[in-house]
Amino acid sequence: MNSSEVVVLDYGSGNVRSAVRALERAGASVTLTSDFQTALNCDGLVVPGVGAFASVAEGLRAVGGHRLVGRRLAGGRPVLGICVGLQVMFERSVEFGRDDVEGLGEWPGTVELLPANIVPHMGWNTVSPPPGSVLFAGVERERFYFVHSYGVQKWELPSPGDPDLILAPPLVTWAEHGARFVAAVENGPLTATQFHPEKSGDAGAQLLTNWLGTL
């Protein structure tokens, strides 16, 4: 069986080589590029994110990442966001006191400072995936590696059991640091994690393998 063709989007984010290596170890054929057509046509697109929300959003728009993600999702083609790559899928951030920084708007919600005694939230933490999660199959009770000071603390779309729900609801995984925050989302072709699977040892490797299995 041929390996999946995965693009890690190169838009000027921080060190993304660890993500490339982790995906390769999980069995993918990986290209690090900002080329629009290559990223549009691959089996799976990974949107990494290191640093400030505003700089990540600006870098993505500079290479057409907002159009790229939108077109892939409209065609049902998988996208995986990592760390700030999860955050920019939401509407906006109030990082550093600003309230005018727009994300890609794939999900409603605001990225806010974690109300914890110690920030950033740096290190290993458990997560609480929902029943039916494909992403966390086999690693539901494992710890994952986080590095962030901001997070989405309120999920604003319908949840399982909502009487107004028509389509299958997104599966939201939560973690806690000062408050409960979104640790991962599985929403059709769009998947994202607040933690770094590429830095999360065997558990992260299995999670990436699980995602590749959906391509």
66 included as an active-site residue: no
Identify the active-site residue in 66, 121, 148, 196.
196
Identify the active-site residue in 42, 83, 121, 177.
83
148 included as an active-site residue: no
83 included as an active-site residue: yes
Q: Among positive and negative, which fits the CA dihedral 88, 173, 94, 90?
A: positive
Identify the active-site residue in 95, 106, 186, 198.
198
**Close Cβ partners of 205 (under 8 Å, ≥ 6 residues apart):** 22, 25, 26, 197
Residues tagged active-site = 83, 196, 198
